[in-house]
Chains A and B, each alone.
Chain A
Amino acid sequence: SYVLTQPPSVSVAPGQTARITCGGNNIGIKSVHWYQQKPGQAPLLVVYNNNGRPSGIPERFSGSNSGNTATLTISRVEAGDEADYYCQVWDSTSDHVVFGGGTKLTVL
């Protein structure tokens, strides 16, 4: 089955740029989606179809996808961005939705 690999944790100072990677075999040909989850809350879609932004999501959130790595970029990081972030794809080989293991973003 298809595997998505994320770093367990990323730390960044307020105002700086955070980059969270999601590795997968030839992931560049897939559509990648990203979710933010704060403690005790349901996940929230922040980026879809590699670089789309749902209504209400700040422009500070963006995505890219090429080769074997997709990246979620959060510019001008704020304390409120501290959360777990998950990448996700549809694996057409197995007809399964696949999530990455998640990355905890810490704002220093």
Chain B
Amino acid sequence: QVQLVQSGPEVKKPGASVKVSCKASGYNFILYGINWVRQAPGQGLEWVGWISPYNGQTYFAQNVQDRIILTTDTSTNTAFMELTGLTSDDTAVYYCARELDRLEVLIVWGQGTLVTVSS
């Protein structure tokens, strides 16, 4: 079955970087874009960015566009999200999610990765 499995929780200090992985299985990885969505504790969903594994095209949320790097490795069917210059505002559960037929229709989600930024 279609599945996204994310890497484990991370604890980082302010100013550090974090890299979260999202391994896909059960479908042709190249054909569907991957979105990243985060959720701060007790808050709503916030879109972070999107990448096409086919050609590497990306879109980023305005508030992270200078600090985020999205990549994919088609040899291992894995997507990566790297966020630099972390602050406490970046503390959140980060989800990867595969698109259905439109970029923003998120049909399959990873289990989430908690990133905690604390001194």
A binding-site residues for B, Cβ under 8 Å:
1, 31, 33, 35, 37, 42-45, 48-49, 54, 84, 86, 88-90, 94-102
Which B residues are CB-close (under 8 A) to A96? 47, 59, 61-62
- Contact check: which of A42, A49, A99 meets B44 at CB < 8 Å? A99
Report how far A4 CA is from B111 CA in the complex, Å.
26
What 7 A-B pairs come out closest when comparing CB atoms? A97-B47, A42-B109, A90-B104, A102-B44, A99-B45, A97-B104, A48-B105
- Pairwise interchain contact A102-B104, C-beta atoms closer than 8 A: no
B21 within 8 A of A: no
B53 within 8 A of A: no
- Pairwise interchain contact B100-A95, C-beta atoms closer than 8 A: no
Which A residues are CB-close (under 8 A) to B100? 45, 48, 54
29 A-B residue contacts at CB 8 Å? A1-B62, A33-B106, A35-B45, A42-B97, A42-B109, A42-B112, A43-B37, A43-B97, A45-B105, A45-B106, A45-B107, A49-B102, A49-B105, A54-B107, A88-B104, A88-B106, A90-B104, A94-B62, A95-B59, A96-B47, A96-B59, A96-B61, A96-B62, A97-B47, A97-B50, A97-B59, A97-B104, A100-B44, A101-B44
Which B residues are CB-close (under 8 A) to A102? 44-45
B binding-site residues for A, Cβ under 8 Å:
35, 37, 44-47, 50, 59, 61-62, 95, 97, 100, 102-107, 109-112
